[in-house]
Structure 1
Amino acid sequence: MLITRHAEAVAVLSDSRHVPPPVPQDAPDGTLAWLRAQVSRFASGPAHAARRRRVEELLASIDPAGLRAAARELAGEPVATVSTRAFGVSQVEAVATAAAGYLSGEGGPEADAAVRALLPLGIPMITILLQAHAATAGLITAALAREDGITPVEDLLHETLRHDPPVRVTRRDGVEIDVAAVNRDPGVFPDPDRFDPGRGATPHLTFGHGVRPCPASAHALAIAAGYLEGRRA
């Protein structure tokens, strides 16, 4: 079932019975498939709660203001490297390689080798890095396309998240949520197809909602804001 309306998406995301499609649990240790079976994103029930808690605990120890400052200093670097380097991790290529198949499960020997290279960081940190890699780069890239050097950075990012979500579809077992369509529901967002940074923060669902909201939304916004500020300097 495809969901394109905001209220229906909120209902699904708030219902603990709607879980992500299961992933195989019998992959060899140290592979991308094995990693997907260890992280919170693809788990449900007590396993999801315990794994998510470990990620949240790690994020609580990382100050978004520090990430913003780090990203500001990285403004001359390629967008795809920023989230990894802002977290102080140097294995940019390994993160990019593993992240490419993280959501889909489509990997290979290179992805498996990348996962093994990242394992010393710990699964909670790997979780953060892989989920941030493409999404944060996508947010920054979309915001740069609208950048005018005048609009407050936070307003630019909030409207970019609504209008051009970097992750356009999210899935639950038997349900597919079209995030891009939901974020343009005319019943919630007046004149929804118009890019309007003056809206400020809106109830977009780019960071999820309910049971499984993105635990690193503040950190992602901090990195993107810092990068844009560095480009303006």
Structure 2
Amino acid sequence: MLITRYTQATAVLEDSGVVPPPVPQDAEPGTLAWLRARVSRFASGPVHAERRRAVVELLASFDPAELRVRARALAGVPADEVAARSFGVDQVAAVSAAASGYLSGETSPEADAAVRELLPLGIPMITVLLQAHASTAALIANARAHDDGVTPIEDLLHETLRHDPPLKRTRRVGVEIDLVAANRDPDVFPDPDRFDPSRGRTPHLTFGHGVRPCPAAAHALAIAAGYLEGNRS
């Protein structure tokens, strides 16, 4: 079932009984498929809670304000490298290769080799890196497409997250949520198709909602803001 309305989407995301599609549990150790069976994103119930707790504890060791400063200094590097480098990780090629099939489950020898290279970082750190890789780069690209050089960057980013979310859809068993449509539901967002940074913070669903919100929302915003600031100067 495809969900496009905001209230339906929030109801699904608030229901702890609606879980992500399961992933195979018997993959060869050290491969991308093996990793996907061990991260919080594709887990449910107590297993998800424990894995999420480990990610949250890791993120607590990174100050978003410091990440913003680091990202500002990375203005000259490609946007798809900024998240990893802001977290102090230099294996950007491995992050990119492993992230290529992280959400879809499409594996390759290159992705498997990348996972093995990243394993010394620990699964919580790999979780953060792979989930941040494409989404942060897409957020930056989408924001730059609307950047007039004078709009406050926080306002620019919040409206970009609503209007042009980097992740277009999210899936649960039997359900697919169209985040673009839900974030433009006219019952919640007046004149929803107009890009309007003056809206400020809005209750968009781009960072999730309910029982599985993104644990790194503040970190992602800080990295994107710092990078955009650096490229404006």
TM-score category, normalised to shorter length: over 0.9
Q: CA deviation at 1:112?
A: 0.3
Runs of 4+ in 1 over 6 A off after TM superposition: none
Determine helix, strand or coil for the equivalent of 1:229: helix
1:178 maps onto 2:178 in alignment: yes
> TM-score when scaled to structure 1?
1.00
Partner of 1:91: 91
Partner of 1:154: 154
Measure, in 1, the Cα distance between the counterparts of 2:76 and 2:2.
40
**Matched ranges for 1:190-229 at <5 A:** 190-229=190-229
Kindly provide the amino acid, as one letter, of the partner of residue 150 in structure 1: V
Determine helix, strand or coil for the equivalent of 1:177: strand
Measure, in 1, the Cα distance between the counterparts of 2:195 and 2:104.
30
Determine helix, strand or coil for the equivalent of 2:170: strand
Q: Deviations over 1:24-78 (max 9, x none)?
A: 0000100000000000000001100000000000001110011100000001111
Partner of 2:136: 136
Measure, in 2, the Cα distance between the counterparts of 1:173 and 1:107.
21
Partner of 2:11: 11
Unaligned residue ranges in structure 2 (runs of 5+): none
Q: CA deviation at 1:108?
A: 1.1
Q: Give the root-mean-square deviation of aligned CA atoms.
A: 0.4
Measure, in 1, the Cα distance between the counterparts of 2:108 and 2:202.
39
Partner of 2:69: 69
Measure, in 2, the Cα distance between the counterparts of 1:7 and 1:39.
28
> TM-score when scaled to structure 2?
1.00
Measure, in 2, the Cα distance between the counterparts of 1:65 and 1:131.
20
Kindly provide the amino acid, as one letter, of the partner of residue 120 in structure 1: P
Q: CA deviation at 1:107?
A: 1.2
Determine helix, strand or coil for the equivalent of 2:191: coil
Q: CA deviation at 1:223?
A: 0.2
Partner of 1:54: 54
Q: % of aligned pairs identical?
A: 76
Q: Deviations over 1:162-207 (max 9, x none)?
A: 0000000000000000000000000000000000000000000000
**Matched ranges for 1:26-65 at <5 A:** 26-65=26-65
Equivalenced residue count is: 233
